Amino acid sequence: MNTVDVLNFGPDFGPQGGIEAVLPPIHGRRYTALVPRPDADGTGLAGSRRCVARADWDERRLERARGVPGAGPLQPQRFVHSVRKDEGERLANGDSRRSLEERYQSHAGFVRAVTKAANELVKERFLLEEDANAFIDAAQTSDVLR
């Protein structure tokens, strides 16, 4: 469990820094640093979950169209999943997380999961429709479970 101590360095020291007039500092209130409860894969459950977390897959690189930040929709360039392809491979490697086949059953199941996640984020106004379409297109053309 992590804790954070409020330290008092004197009247000329504030949140942005300043002059440390009191050394060592006076220890003030102690706070416990909380972290979100993880799901079965270790991903935090709190807050707004991105498309990749909702569909249980990892994307390693996002670029904007034409490689220019802010120019066009997001383009997932490559999908890399951190879990094993099937149950046999998962068990052989001692991985407790569900395999790709256990999660999606097929490539079509993977595409459905990404589509559902992207559409939820559009509905919740966390993702633009054009970016959701880019995620869905990338899932359709990916080699996940092909």
Q: Does the pLDDT at position 83 exceed 80?
A: no
Together in a domain, 78 and 128: yes
Instruction: Give pLDDT tens digits for 126-135.
Output: 889 998 998 8
Per-chain mean pLDDT for the chain: 80
On the 0-12 / 13-18 / 19+ scale of CB atoms within 10 A, 121 is: buried
Rounded Cα distance between 57 and 146, Å, is 15
At 72 the pLDDT is 53
Together in a domain, 115 and 89: yes
Single pTM value for the model: 0.59
Q: Which domain holds residue 76?
A: 51-141
At 105 the pLDDT is 94
Together in a domain, 24 and 58: no
Q: What domain count does the chain have?
A: 2
At 63 the pLDDT is 41
80 pLDDT band, cuts 50/70/90, is low
